[in-house]
Amino acid sequence: MTEENKAIDPSEEASSAEATPTSANELSPKETAPANNESPDIPEMETVPGTEEQFLEAAPQVLADETHDDEEADVQEDYSTYSREDLIVMLEKFVNETEVPRFKARIAGIREFLNHAFTAENDLAFTKFIEEGGNKDDFKPATDPLEERFHQALKKFFKKRTEYQEKQEKQKTENLHGKNDLLQQLKDLIQNEDNMNKAFDRFHELQAKWRAIGPVPAANVRDLQMTYKFLIDKFYDYIKINRELQDLDQRRNFETKLSICEQADELLMEPSLNVALRKLHMLQDKWRDTGPVPRDKKNEIWDRFKATCDKLFDKRKEQIAQSDEKRVANLAEKTKLCEAVEAIKTDDNWKHKEWQEATLAIGELQAAWKKIGPADKKFNDEIWNRFKGTCDAFYKAKNDFYHKRKQEFAANLQQKTELCIQAEALQNSTDWKATTAELIRLQQEWKKGGSVGDKHSEKIWKRFRTACDAFFKNKSDHFSVLDKEHDENLVKKIALIEEIEGYQLNEDYATSFEELKAFQRRWSEMGMVPLNKKEEIMNRFKKAIDGHFDKLKVSSNDRQKVRYQQKLDHIRHADSGGKMDSERKSLLHKITELKNEVQVWENNIGFFAKSKNAEKLKSEFEEKIKHAKEEISKLKGKLDMVKDAE
């Protein structure tokens, strides 16, 4: 037997052995009946020694090694291309099939792959546990739902396989009883039937029943076949059938074997070699069960059948050789892919673009890996672990990067959300100057903030911009109205200035003074003018009004009171009270500061010694105190004016 015929699944040996004899002497023409067999003096049927019997006694074992119950046995799956969950689903599907043995090769492959995967995972967890300071006796592997499903599926498969094997063994035992019963009937026929025609018909009936019965336990195959052949030979001798009848039977056998040869020739065209070998196995069983052919046709028909068998066996050898060459080539290709993956070196400074480009490259290499078939079993796990380990290391580094990036996005999103909240709180403000400055500051803070990711970027920016736009729109609307008012005020103030410039003082001083104050009051009530005209129009107004005050010879103090009253009138008309309150507080603050300074200066005067410069310093401080008290008096007057204006 060749080396390739030995490489079979041990679980297949029993099913192969039970269908075909494995003894080298099983079909030998020189076999004799067992020692306890009756009528040992009956001569054996003459047979052609040599080739046919020797070939057939070895062929069943070759076929048992070469074929499987599974029609998909020649399909070699690369389970590394599937996820664990996909493999579990596939395993459960196969286990739930009615014909369990049909998928046992695939189940065994999946089982081996997942056992290795789960073991490697537990070993990694154990190593990490020990490295973190754990006691090996305290280590308990984490519960994996996929692993539990895996063991449940295997448990179900083993149960079904055991039930199937028990059923098969039971059937084989029943078949053994059936064949033993047929042997007894054949023995009774030989010993008791005298009618030749009836005996011959009965003989063929028993042969048909024999062929119809399935396999028997392997331990009984040899003895059963030897006894059957012995009784067949004994039948031909015992009934002393005439030559013509024997020739007729042999011609029928020749036609049957000729048909077997034709069916075997058709198998040369069968696309699946495994299917062809399995069918050839059945044809060889049929050949053995068919009786002898005419002596002059025996070698011819046998040589034809054997030649076809040899061609199929040669195809199998060629297939195995090609498969070995392909696996060597696959190993070389997979080694190159490993080197290509290992050449992709990650960097801590990589950005999103670099990770995306590297991920695309890794994906292309993985796609190329899936297209390559398995390597030699001796190297397949090693090369896969090398490739997978490098890919896993890359994806771990990538996951770490995006996890950190996600945390940064979350922090930036929180920061920008807070800016949105602040902007939304200001969007309805009418404090145009302060709010504008604050929103500009928030916008600068926004620019300094990092990215929040594509998922939230547009939404959070739209929220912030909406709040800012709402304020600036309100501001624009407000100042567009103010601009119109300012233009109208400008026209009014120019008309007032022209009126003042044309005004003639009254002979009565008091009347003129009040009329000039009325001009100032009207000026304050008119409101603001465009900013670019403010200074020009104010200078023109002051020049016109001051000219009249100069003619009246109004004191500087009175003039200041008038102007301050003008300021208060302007505040009163322009503000609801906030600025007036600020003005009052400002006056109180200045009064308090001046009083403190006066007190300090008065205290310091008492410390001056009677020296040459003491009088000079004392005089200077007394002058300061005088001016300070005058200023306090003025400020109090202004404070009274503020109280009257409130």
Residue found by looking up tokens 């990711």 in the block = 453
Taking the alpha carbons of 338, 342, 344, 347 in that order, is the dihedral positive or negative? positive
Average pLDDT over residues 157-173: 85
Please tell me the distance from the alpha carbon of residue 590 to that of residue 597, in angstroms, as a whole number: 11
13 within some domain:
no
Give the per-residue pLDDT at 562: 66
Task: Give the single-character DSSP code of 143.
Answer: P
Residue 309 in this model has a pLDDT that exceeds 90 = yes
Residue 57 in this model has a pLDDT that exceeds 70 = no
Residue 180 in this model has a pLDDT that exceeds 90 = yes
Please tell me the distance from the alpha carbon of residue 642 to that of residue 639, in angstroms, as a whole number: 5
Name the more confident of 435 and 323.
435
Residues 6+ apart with CB under 8 A from 56: 27, 284, 287, 288
Residue 93 in this model has a pLDDT that exceeds 60 = yes
Share of the chain above pLDDT 90, in %: 6
What confidence category does residue 491 fall into, taking pLDDT thresholds of 50, 70 and 90?
confident
Residue 13 in this model has a pLDDT that exceeds 50 = no
Average pLDDT over residues 332-356: 85
Taking the alpha carbons of 107, 108, 109, 114 in that order, is the dihedral positive or negative? positive
Average pLDDT over residues 395-415: 87
117 within some domain:
no
User: For the ranges 78-87, 572-581, 622-631, which has the lowest average pLDDT?
Assistant: 572-581
Please tell me the distance from the alpha carbon of residue 559 to that of residue 550, in angstroms, as a whole number: 10
Residue 482 in this model has a pLDDT that exceeds 50 = yes
What confidence category does residue 298 fall into, taking pLDDT thresholds of 50, 70 and 90?
confident
Give the per-residue pLDDT at 54: 47
Share of the chain above pLDDT 70, in %: 79
Give the per-residue pLDDT at 238: 66
Please tell me the distance from the alpha carbon of residue 196 to that of residue 351, in angstroms, as a whole number: 97
Residue 43 in this model has a pLDDT that exceeds 70 = no
Helices (H), 291-431: 295-342, 352-371, 377-426
Give the CA-trace dihedral at 92, 93, 95, 101, to 10 degrees. Answer: -150
Rg (CA), the chain: 57
Query: Residue 145 CB: number of other CB atoms within 10 A?
Result: 9
Average pLDDT over residues 386-392: 89
Q: Which of left, alpha, beta for 577 (phi over 0: left; psi -120 to 50: alpha)? A: left
Residue 38 in this model has a pLDDT that exceeds 70 = no
Return the amino acid letter for 211.
R
627 within some domain:
yes
DSSP assignment of 29-94 equals TT----TT-S-TTSPPPP---SHHHHHHHHHHHHHHHH--S-TTTT----GGGS-HHHHHHHHHHH
Residue 389 in this model has a pLDDT that exceeds 80 = yes
Give the per-residue pLDDT at 461: 92
Name the nearest CA neighbour of 632 among 586, 597, 594, 589: 594
100 within some domain:
no
601 within some domain:
yes
Residue 302 in this model has a pLDDT that exceeds 90 = yes
Give the per-residue pLDDT at 239: 62
Residue 42 in this model has a pLDDT that exceeds 50 = no
Give the per-residue pLDDT at 559: 62
Please tell me the distance from the alpha carbon of residue 269 to that of residue 352, in angstroms, as a whole number: 57
Name the more confident of 194 and 258.
258
Residue 145 in this model has a pLDDT that exceeds 90 = no
Give the per-residue pLDDT at 445: 87
The range of the structural domain enclosing residue 624 comes to 577-646
Give the per-residue pLDDT at 553: 67
Give the per-residue pLDDT at 14: 33
181 within some domain:
no
Return the amino acid letter for 69.
D
User: For the ranges 94-103, 186-195, 225-234, which has the lowest average pLDDT?
Assistant: 94-103
Q: State how far the alpha carbon of 197 is from the alpha carbons of 228, 514, 620, in Å.
A: 21, 163, 166
Give the per-residue pLDDT at 65: 40
pLDDT single digits (tens) 212-229: 888 888 888 888 889 988
Give the per-residue pLDDT at 312: 86
624 within some domain:
yes
Give the per-residue pLDDT at 614: 67
Q: What is the mean pLDDT of the chain?
A: 77
Take residue 621 and report the two structure tokens written for it: 């401080």
Average pLDDT over residues 601-608: 70
Residue 372 in this model has a pLDDT that exceeds 70 = yes
User: For the ranges 36-45, 226-235, 474-483, 540-549, which has the lowest average pLDDT?
Assistant: 36-45
Give the per-residue pLDDT at 349: 83
What confidence category does residue 359 fall into, taking pLDDT thresholds of 50, 70 and 90?
very high
Average pLDDT over residues 199-224: 88
What confidence category does residue 177 fall into, taking pLDDT thresholds of 50, 70 and 90?
very high
Give the per-residue pLDDT at 391: 92
Name the nearest CA neighbour of 292 among 29, 41, 23, 55: 29
Give the per-residue pLDDT at 527: 77
Q: Domain total for the chain?
A: 1
pLDDT single digits (tens) 457-479: 889 899 889 989 988 888 887 77
Q: Which of 170-174, 598-602, 604-608 has the highest mean pLDDT?
A: 170-174
Residue 19 in this model has a pLDDT that exceeds 50 = no
Q: Whole-angstrom distance between the N-terminal and C-terminal Cα of the chain?
A: 122
643 within some domain:
yes
What confidence category does residue 260 fall into, taking pLDDT thresholds of 50, 70 and 90?
very high
Taking the alpha carbons of 339, 343, 348, 354 in that order, is the dihedral positive or negative? negative
What confidence category does residue 50 fall into, taking pLDDT thresholds of 50, 70 and 90?
very low
Average pLDDT over residues 253-269: 89
Please tell me the distance from the alpha carbon of residue 231 to that of residue 183, in angstroms, as a whole number: 8
Residue 403 in this model has a pLDDT that exceeds 90 = no
The model carries a pTM of: 0.36
Q: Are 556 and 633 in contact (CB under 8 A)?
A: no
